[in-house]
Structure 1
């Protein structure tokens, strides 16, 4: 019982931290990217915008997971179960696909700058984004087949996409393996190749200043960290579950790590887009300017404070006559 309570508290803590950090940072990135696209639309900005929308969609449906966790069962309307599951899992894999798209775009820009410039059109990026959304949502629509199961030993208790029958697992386990190979392993290998080549070209170039090289390295390290921390454990559970022919007990903990993706992606936005960097700096400057300075009042002479108060009082008195 204590173990179940600790597990529930850990899940809730991760959900709350993700919401508190992911919502404002992704909204800030969304604002910056929209402003950039209004000035000039680039494939990189379009992919990052879709990645931001994916994260915000994930965060929008995260409270449903938290509510189910608090109540111990699915008490919300039945139609919300597959819908929340569809967005929850689809946005996880859409993130891997758009991270891969960003890496390919970066690699082509430095490896084949002249040739790629002929095909670097926003319309192509929009078409690719639509295809990636279709891939993630098409694969994860499996939740409409195996989303809702009422255990036979309980007349009222129901769970959402958690407990499965043996017949469901016969279909679900091979499908999860295919999901992990197509939407994680292949994108991960492509990302490693593109960013490995990208870093090699950037570092060896003498025409690129040090600051840009450091941002490029930061982008690569953050992206690989997202893959390793957020996506690798969950997709590893697909392989292990397929080999053991069962729904693994630690799969929920592996899936929990993918939640951090919505908080880590804004770091990638920062390294990938100068517009996001500028927006973050402006936001921090505004917060600093608006911050009260208690020492300023102490350092002012008392006579000056009295004079200012008297001037305010006089202004209020004269202003009231009108």
Structure 2
């Protein structure tokens, strides 16, 4: 059956997000792996590498498969559960990793803890698929991956969604907004000194807030509304598609946060004859040394928070 007009629009957004985010995230992954594999990698590189992996974990290709079939899952049921598990883990890992980047005080143990915390909470995506229910489905109908719930399943799903909303969206968003509010205040107080680093810091703030307010907030608000209405809201699928834009915005955050990524992107653009940055003369040996200028001016500014 051909996708409905609404699902066709969602499919287009997923496709464009996949088309633009995959090359950018793979390039960032290549840049960060070289630094993380070195002895004593900088904590910021571990966080940025984790954010890149979280974006790749969104598995937007499988979301396109669902949208193309009106979200009736055409593949094996176990793959449906695993796909949902990876997709939602990618969403919730991204929120707390953005917090870690905003305060820049975490180490590798915190990045691992964020992954474990997200995996543990999102395991409900797999568990709920196999909960015993009193409702029967038509023999020839296809399951709708993590969307069409019975009443017994909703009793488990809705409270967990509310907790996910608070723990993985509203709290991280509050911490991040506070940190960047402090950063913006300091930038404004030093307006007489306008440098490229200042503009990169402002761009980093804008991109991060866009992620929280546009990509993540509508989807998480659907959890709150669904909990009080005792149902899985139908408009949730439209809010979910906005989370796909996160995979397109995160490469911008990586670009403004790390000189290693800027060099990797600029080198790639120069090889295509379309570099966006002015070429500079750099010592090739110095480029191999450990990068300590991550987040540029943020290290100095956020230290006062």
Q: Take 1:172 and 1:272, find their aligned partners in 2: how far apart are those partners?
A: 36
Matches within 5 A, 1:92-111: 92-105=91-104
Q: Which residue of 1 aligns with 2:69?
A: 71
Q: Which residue of 2 aligns with 1:116?
A: none
Q: Which residue of 1 aligns with 2:155?
A: 170
Q: For the Cα contact (< 8 Å) 1:177–1:238, is it kept in 2?
A: yes
Q: Take 2:37 and 2:202, find their aligned partners in 1: how far apart are those partners?
A: 28
**How many residue pairs are counted as aligned between the two chains?**
270
Q: Which residue of 1 aligns with 2:241?
A: 256
**Is 1:152–2:139 an aligned residue pair?**
no
Name which one, 1 or 2, has greater alpha-carbon Rg.
1
Q: Take 2:189 and 2:239, find their aligned partners in 1: how far apart are those partners?
A: 38
1:69, CA displacement in angstroms?
2.9
1:201, CA displacement in angstroms?
2.9
Query: 3-state SS of the aligned residue for 1:145?
Result: helix
1:203, CA displacement in angstroms?
4.0
User: Any unmatched runs of 5+ in structure 2?
Assistant: 276-305
Q: Take 1:285 and 1:215, find their aligned partners in 2: how far apart are those partners?
A: 20
Q: For the Cα contact (< 8 Å) 2:158–2:230, is it kept in 1?
A: yes
Q: For the Cα contact (< 8 Å) 2:169–2:220, is it kept in 1?
A: yes
Q: For the Cα contact (< 8 Å) 2:128–2:156, is it kept in 1?
A: no
**Is 1:275–2:260 an aligned residue pair?**
yes
Q: Which residue of 1 aligns with 2:19?
A: 20
Q: For the Cα contact (< 8 Å) 2:8–2:68, is it kept in 1?
A: no
Q: For the Cα contact (< 8 Å) 2:48–2:101, is it kept in 1?
A: yes
Deviates more, 1:8-17 or 1:180-189: 8-17
Q: Which residue of 2 aligns with 1:293?
A: none
- Relative to structure 1, the CA distance from residue 232 to residue 153 in structure 2 (aligned partners, 3 Å threshold; closer, same or farther) is same
Task: Give deviations 1:185-216, integer Å, cap 9, x for gaps.
Answer: 10000001111112323443589752111111
TM-score between both structures, scaled by the size of structure 1: 0.78
Query: 3-state SS of the aligned residue for 2:57?
Result: helix
Give the alignment's Cα RMSD to 1 decimal. 2.4
Q: Which residue of 1 aligns with 2:294?
A: none
Query: 3-state SS of the aligned residue for 2:273?
Result: helix
Q: Take 1:230 and 1:87, find their aligned partners in 2: how far apart are those partners?
A: 17
Q: For the Cα contact (< 8 Å) 2:147–2:232, is it kept in 1?
A: no
**Is 1:142–2:141 an aligned residue pair?**
no
- Relative to structure 1, the CA distance from residue 206 to residue 70 in structure 2 (aligned partners, 3 Å threshold; closer, same or farther) is closer
Q: For the Cα contact (< 8 Å) 1:148–1:161, is it kept in 2?
A: no
1:68, CA displacement in angstroms?
2.7
1:148, CA displacement in angstroms?
5.7
Q: Take 1:83 and 1:153, find their aligned partners in 2: how far apart are those partners?
A: 21
Q: Take 2:119 and 2:239, find their aligned partners in 1: how far apart are those partners?
A: 21
1:19, CA displacement in angstroms?
1.1
Task: Give deviations 1:115-138, integer Å, cap 9, x for gaps.
Answer: xxxxxxxxx611111100011111
The structure whose residues are more often helix, as a share, is 1
Q: Take 1:101 and 1:215, find their aligned partners in 2: how far apart are those partners?
A: 18
Q: Take 1:237 and 1:289, find their aligned partners in 2: how far apart are those partners?
A: 42
TM-score between both structures, scaled by the size of structure 2: 0.82
1:223, CA displacement in angstroms?
0.2
Q: Which residue of 2 aligns with 1:91?
A: 90
Task: Give deviations 1:244-265, integer Å, cap 9, x for gaps.
Answer: 1111110000011101111110
Q: For the Cα contact (< 8 Å) 1:81–1:148, is it kept in 2?
A: no
Q: Which residue of 1 aligns with 2:47?
A: 47
Q: Which residue of 2 aligns with 1:196?
A: 181
1:57, CA displacement in angstroms?
1.6
